[in-house]
Amino acid sequence: MKLKLNSEFGTLRRVIMHRPGQEIERLTPQNSSELLFEDVPYLESMQKEHDEFFNVIKSTTDAMVYRLRQLLLDVVKQDVFKESILLDALARSSHEEVCGDIMSCFSTAEIVTMLIAGIRADELKRKVPALRNRKFDSNYYIIHPSPNMYFMRDPAAVTQNGVISSNMKFSGRQFESHLLKLIFKHHPDFKDAYHEVFPGDDISTIPTIEGGDVMVISPKVLAIGCSERTESAAIEKVAKNVLSGGIVERVYEVKLPGRRNYMHLDTVFTVVDENLVVTYPEAIDSLQETYVHRISSMDNNRKFIMHKEAVQQSLITILKNEISHLEVIETGYGHPDHSSREQWYDGANVFALGPRRVISYDRNKHTNRALRDRGVDVIEIRSSELSRGLGGPRCMTMPIERDDI
């Protein structure tokens, strides 16, 4: 186990996924927008689609597929971590005082469920007699739900040098990153390999960054989208840490328009082989500017001096300079209407199982045909409910080990 990746498409060896659960049923037409959903999915169908996704990976690769809930259970069953993570969850609603009651009245498995799905005051009162006279609104959340948890790509990102522990923009998602960091730091499968490249020791002010904006272009190149959810200051901090590690030579900061369907860099393009990318052309054409971070020199104390400069080229030109003999596939097979429609359901957001072998939503038929015509093995999965959260197969996976290229 390395917890380092030097490509987006090396043969998959280990990946973390989360099966949608009770947290999805917390969504209502009234709170869905607040919880970053455009619609209210039907959980049972959503689970069937996710199980199909999980089983495709299991049946077509030799990869180890971890379930987030089981990883969290492995950590939380240790009482010292159970209490600390529960206290942290309760602190977000200022109700640390009920920690002891929960610890004594709920099983470890129930606590793991509430850490993801949340718990309302009325649910807590039913299990804890001592709290039945407390004046809580019945629908008040003592622990808030995390319905976006099945988008495993965002809470962290594995790079060439180590792990970015995301600082999510929206408060409703910040606890997801905390849970992933807890797993990486304390789970026996990961703790010895865990090296954090963000935020690191300086936690006084942490700018926002999300894993969907992080893209490994090659063993020596990292690209990070500066989007509505990832700040330039975070990219500079990551660049400083990964460049000083001596593996990465260039970090590109790609400015994205602040639009819902461009929310992360991986909605604009993904890498499916050493010389092949799939892109959404309208987004590529509307990118505002790109910068490159490099180490320029060392000062007298042997400390690296980092240099940032604007790149006067399009993103496609930059990629062609970095990737020899680059081929570019456009979503919707280049047809504007098909491309726009399929981009809404993340046509460019495919998940690579290995070189030129990807999982894609079945509804993106024109993009999938374009991929197949370039020799890509496309495995389609159903997506009627999974796509309602506006995220694709890449969004739903956190690869933590691939074969090096």
Catalogue the active-site residues.
395
The C-alpha angle 240, 241, 244, rounded to 5 degrees, equals: 80
From edge to edge, which strands make up the β-sheet containing 357-361?
351-354, 357-361, 377-381
User: What's the token pair of residue 259?
Assistant: 């639009």
Per-residue burial over 15-41, b = 16 or more CB atoms within 10 Å of its CB, e = otherwise: bbbbebbebbbbbeeeebeebbbeebb
Residue 260, classified by CB atoms within 10 Å of its CB into exposed (0-12), middle (13-18) or buried (19+), is exposed
CA distance 92 to 74: 23
CA distance 119 to 140: 9
**Amino acid type, 367:** T
**ω into residue 199 within 30 of 0, thus cis?**
yes
Which residues make beta-bridge pairs with 252? 223, 292
Whole-Å CA distances, 371 to 215, 387, 400: 20, 20, 25
